Amino acid sequence: MRGGEIVESSSERLLTPGEVAALFRVDPKTVTRWAAAGRISSIRTPGGHRRFRESEVHALLRGEEVLAADRPSGDSPRV
């Protein structure tokens, strides 16, 4: 692992709450609340930190609704 990057089994990039917040121009705590409310799915790192799939974040930015069928099943997996 280099420079705080997280490697997941798929090649999809994972974003931190701060990175997502910057894209939406909101506070990182707002992104965390969205995840807790189920508005955006998140993955938990082994240390308990939230990460967000870049493709889902960009879909939401484009105004596309991410359907539950597009998300992995079950609880938020750990990476």
CATH number of the domain that 48 lies in? 1.10.1660.10
How high is the pLDDT of residue 22?
Answer: 97
Q: Which domain holds residue 59?
A: 14-66
Residue 2 lies in a domain: no
- Kindly give the pairing relationship between strand 43-44 and strand 14-15: unpaired
* Nearest by Cα to 41 from 24, 62, 63, 20: 20
Q: Based on the structure, what is the number of domains in the chain?
A: 1
Residue 31 lies in a domain: yes
Residues 6, 21: Cα–Cα separation, whole Å: 18
How high is the pLDDT of residue 16?
Answer: 97
Residue 76: phi and psi, rounded to 5, are -60, 120
Mean pLDDT of the chain: 80
How high is the pLDDT of residue 10?
Answer: 64
Residue 18 lies in a domain: yes
Residues 45, 48: Cα–Cα separation, whole Å: 5
